[in-house]
Structure 1
C-alpha cells in the first residue's frame, strides 16, 4: 500500500518542484530586465512542464548513474533552449541583453541540475533505509542468483530486498557463500507469490520452470525478469529486440537509435541552419551576387 501511494504521489510532487524552479528563474529574469509578467512567461513554463512530462523525467530509475542523469537533464535543457530561441525569434521577438540572458539561462541550468541530482540522492537514501522497496524473489541457486543477491546487498539504495534464493531442485545445497536458501519453489503454497513484488530467475532454468514462473507472475500481477548468461560479460547495456517471432539481445545501442536523441539532433539541425541563414547567408549571398554582376555579363541567377 505504501509503495502504491508513493508511485501515485511522487510524480505530482516531482513536477511541483520543477514548477517552482522554473518559476523562480522566470521571476529573476523579470527582475533583471525590469519587466512584468506576460503570456510569454506562462507559455514557456507550461511548455517546460509538458515537455518534461512527455519525456517522463520523473522516472529516475533505480540505480541510475549520476552521469546518465546529468546527460539526460542537459539534453532536455538544450532541447528546451532551442525551442525557446526559435519561438522567441519568430513570434515574441523580445530583446534582452546578452549578459542578462546568460545569467538567467545559466542559473536555470544549474538549479534544474541540482534539483534532479539532489532528488535522486534523497530517493537513494530513502530506499536505503527501507522506503519504497521492491521485495525480490530470486529463483536459481547458481552463479546468476548468487551474483544478483550479492549486488542487492551491496547497493541497498537501489531499493531491492531479497531474503535468499529459491530453486526447483530439492537436492540443492543449503549454503552458497552464506546466502540463505529459501527452499524449493514448488514446495510452497501459491500464497508465497503474494509476498513479493518482482521475480528474477536464472536463464539456466529449464523452459518448463521458466514458463511456470511467468504464469505465476501473470496470475499475481508481478514483474518477472530473466537473468541472461551475458551477466558474466563486461557490456554496458542489453536491449531486447525481435524479428517477427524471433527475439534477440542487442549488445549495444547507437546514439541515434534513441528517439529522444533523434529529436534533439533534428532540432539542432534546424536551429543551426536558421542561424547560418540569418547571420551568414543574409549578407554573403548579396555580396556574391554583386561580385558576379561586376565581373561578368548576364543575370546573377540562371533559371
Structure 2
C-alpha cells in the first residue's frame, strides 16, 4: 500500500530538494569567489550551508510545499515553490542583516537564491515526470474505494480512469442498492452494501475512501467517517449538492463554524491582488515605453485620414460593477455617442475608416488601454469589459454573466485567446471568464499573454 511508503517518498523528496539547494549554494560560491577547492571556502561559508539550506526546507514545509502534489497542476506547484522560496530567502537576508555578518558575500546569497529556485523547479519537474510515467505503468498507485455507485460516484470513477498519470486506482464500490450489488460499474465491482466497509478496510489494501452518496443518505456519513478513522484510512466526501453550486466552493471558518463559500476567487486574497497589481504596473509601463513610437505613428495616421480626436473614450463596466472610461484609438468616423454605446460593430460597418479597419483587425486600436492598466481601472489580463447597455441585457439573459465583474477587466483574456471574441457566443465567453477567475495565478496570466501574441492579435472576429 502506498501509505506504507509515503514517509519514504517524503524523505526522498526533501533529500532531493536539499541536494539541489546544496548544489546551488556551492555553485554560487565557486562562480562568485572563484574557489575551486572546498578547503578555500572558509568557515563562514561552511556555516552558511549548515543553516541556510535547512532553514529553506523548514519554510517549504510550513508553506505546504511537501503536501500531496499528484493531482495538482505543475503551474500550481511552481507558484507554491516560488512563494515559499521567496519567504525563505527574505528570512535568510533578515538573519544576515540582524547578525551584521559583513564577511558573508551578499552576491553569493543572491546567486544562491536565484540558482536554488531554478534547480528546485527543474528537479521537481523531473520528479513529477518520472512519477507520472511510473503511475501510468501501474506503480505508485493509491487504491480507492468509492462508497456510492450512483451518478456522483460514477462520474468520479470516470475522471480517475481518465487521469491514470495521477496514480489512483478504483478497486470497487459499495452501495445499498441491491440491484447494483454483485454487478460492475465503470468496470469495477460493487462489493456489497455500505455496512461492509469496516470489514473491507480490515482485509483489503485501501488507501482512501471516497464517499459519493446522495443527499438523502446523509445519516450514513457519521458511521462511514468513524469507520475510516478507526482503520486509519483517509476519507474524502464528494458533496452531492455540488451540482447546485455555481462555482468552485471552498470551506471557510467563522469562529469555529465551517462556512461553504460557493465560489473561490484567488484574487480575493490581498497578497494575490498585490502580485497582480505589481505585474500590471511592470507590464503596462514596459508596454507604454516600447510601443510609444508605434502609438505616435498611429496617432498621426488617424489625424491624417479622418477628422476628429485620436482617442475614443467609451464607458465600460469594470470591477464591482463600476463604470470607467476605456481608451482606444479612434477607428470610426466621429458619430453620436448614444448610438456607439448601444450598437454592435458589423463586418462592413460604414462608420469605420479605412485606417481604422486596419487598426481593429490587428488589435492596434487596443494599445491605449495600457494607460487604463497603469492607472488601475483595468488589468493586462482579465474578462473583457462591456458597455453598460449590453451589461443590462446580458445580466438577465446569460447565466452567471455578472460574475466577471468580481475582478478587474483586462486587455486580453482566456476567452479571447480561445477564439471567443467579437460576434461569438456570449455564453462560451462567460464560461472562459469564470474559469479564469476561479483558477487565476500569475503563470496563468503569463500564459494568456503569450497566447495573445500567437493567437489573438490578428483575429477573423475582430472588425
TM-score (norm 2): 0.49
Q: Which of 185, 207, 225 matches 2:236?
A: 225
Partner residue of 1:77 out of 82, 85, 88: 85
The answer to whether the 8 Å contact 1:201/1:226 transfers is yes
For the aligned residue pairs, the C-alpha RMSD in angstroms reads 3.5
Question: Could you say which residue in structure 1 is the equivalent of 2:58?
Answer: 50
Residue of 92, 96, 108 corresponding to 2:101: 92
Q: How far off is 1:76 after superposition?
A: 1.6
Alignment of 1:91-170 (within 5 A): 91-93=100-102, 96=105, 103-170=111-178
Q: In the aligned structure 1, how far is the partner of 2:262 from the partner of 2:66?
A: 27
Aligned to 1:291: none
The alignment covers a number of residue pairs equal to 261
Helix, strand or coil at the partner of 2:70: coil
Q: Find the aligned partners of 2:84 and 2:97 in 1 and give their Cα distance.
A: 20
Aligned to 1:162, the other structure's residue is in SS state strand
The answer as to whether partners of 1:139 and 1:199 remain within 8 angstroms in 2 is yes
- Could you list the runs of 5+ residues in structure 2 that have no partner in the other structure? 36-40, 276-463
Tell me the alpha carbon deviations over residues 101-137 of structure 1, each in whole angstroms, 9 at most, x when there is no partner: 7654432221111112222222222333333322211
Provide the C-alpha distance between the structure 1 equivalents of 2:8 and 2:184, rounded to a whole number of angstroms: 40
Q: 2 CA distance for matches of 1:248 and 1:203?
A: 21
> Would the alpha carbon gap of residues 81 and 118 (structure 1) be closer, same or farther in structure 2, given more than 3 Å must change?
same
Note the residue ranges of structure 1 that are not aligned, 5 or more in a row.
266-303
Higher relative contact order (CA 8 A, sep 6+): 1
1:215 aligns with 2:223: no
- Give matches, 1:1-303, under 5 Å: 2-34=1-33, 36-37=41-42, 38=44, 39-90=47-98, 91-93=100-102, 96=105, 103-172=111-180, 178-186=186-194, 188=196, 190-194=198-202, 195=204, 196-204=206-214, 205-229=216-240, 231-232=242-243, 235-236=247-248, 238-243=249-254, 247-253=258-264
The whole-number CA distance in structure 2 between the counterparts of 1:180 and 1:41 is 52
1:134·1:159 contact (CA, 8 Å) conserved in 2? yes
Q: Deviations over 1:235-277 (max 9, x none)?
A: 34x3324556754322344659889x69x99xxxxxxxxxxxx
Q: Is the 8 A contact 1:133 1:159 kept in 2?
A: yes
Contact 2:181 2:193 in 1 (8 A): no
Give the direction of change, closer, same or farther, for the CA distance of 1:242–1:72 in structure 2 (3 Å limit).
closer
| 2:190 alignment partner, SS class | strand
Answer yes or no: is the 8 Å Cα contact 1:168–1:209 preserved in 2.
no
Question: Cα 1:200–1:173, aligned 2, differ >3 Å: closer, same or farther?
Answer: same
Structure 1 pair 258–220 and aligned structure 2 pair: CA distance change class (3 A): farther
Shift of 1:72: 0.6
Q: Distance in 2 between matches of 1:4 and 1:23?
A: 29
